[in-house]
Amino acid sequence: MNRRPPARAALVYLGDYVDRGPDSRGVIDHLLDHPLPVDKTVHLLGNHEDAMLRFLDDIWIGESWMGFGGRETLRSYGIAPDAGMVRHVWLAAAQTELGSVLPDRHLAFLKRLRLWHREGGYLFVHAGIRPRIELERQRQDDLIWIRNEFLESDADHGCVVVHGHSIRREPEIRHNRIGIDTGACFTNRLTALVLEGNEQRFLST
């Protein structure tokens, strides 16, 4: 059956473009250099981009960032591993080097990432929302980090929340949320949600 193209197409990326994999720099280059031909593209902030941005101003976030992908991101920008250096000395050096080698357009991209996007009856956010809190009063840390309190909630959020962050083997569809993170960095399986009218379907590598 032939599908009619939608009258308007929006593409929303849910964040986590850096860390874990070997080419974070290449991912950002690809997003900037090869946009898909849609009417609107929205890039959301994930907890990994937030950690990267914070590291540019605060070396102490580096202790935790190295544990969930920061080392791989630094390597993608040509910054060598610590090689036995005292940790805080290496972190300070890595911070300085990242600030000097990070392309201006990459920094601008990271700084303009949005926390959420609303389209029709759907709210797109990286991790989720704190139940029963108005969207305008949500804390950034919840939007990019929250897990169980959101995942286990049966609350009516006033919309269906589309999120990533919490990895599952298969996309997770609930009455109040749709989780689409299938852990591409671990499973090599990337999942996208296609929404057309009342129809919901998935595309997966």
CATH code, domain with 162: 3.60.21.10
- State what percent of residues in the chain have pLDDT above 70: 97
**What band does 2 get if pLDDT is binned at 50, 70 and 90?**
low
- 70-81 burial: b if 16+ Cβ within 10 Å, else e: bbbbbebbebee
* Closest to 28 in 3D by CA, of 43, 38, 12: 43
Quote the domain boundaries for residue 187.
115-205
User: Are 24 and 100 members of one domain?
Assistant: yes
User: Are 104 and 189 members of one domain?
Assistant: no
Over residues 165-184, mean pLDDT = 96
- Split into its structural domains, the chain has a count of 2
User: Are 22 and 109 members of one domain?
Assistant: yes
Checking DSSP bridges between strand 191-196 and strand 122-125, what pairing results, if any? unpaired
Over residues 158-166, mean pLDDT = 97
Predicted TM-score of the model (pTM): 0.94
Predicted confidence (pLDDT) at residue 91 exceeds the cutoff of 60: yes
HEC profile for 39-90?
Answer: CEEEEECCHHHHHHHHHCCCCCHHHHHHHHCHHHHHHHCCCCCCCCCCHHHH
User: Are 94 and 8 members of one domain?
Assistant: yes
Which 8-state DSSP code applies to residue 128? -
User: Are 56 and 136 members of one domain?
Assistant: no
User: Are 14 and 100 members of one domain?
Assistant: yes
Model pLDDT, residue 84: 77
44 DSSP β-pair partners: 114
| Averaged pLDDT of the chain | 94
How far, in Å, CA of 96 to CA of 91, rounded? 9
30-63 confidence digits (pLDDT tens): 999 999 999 999 999 999 999 999 999 999 999 9
- 44-61 burial: b if 16+ Cβ within 10 Å, else e: bbbbbbbbbbebeeebeb
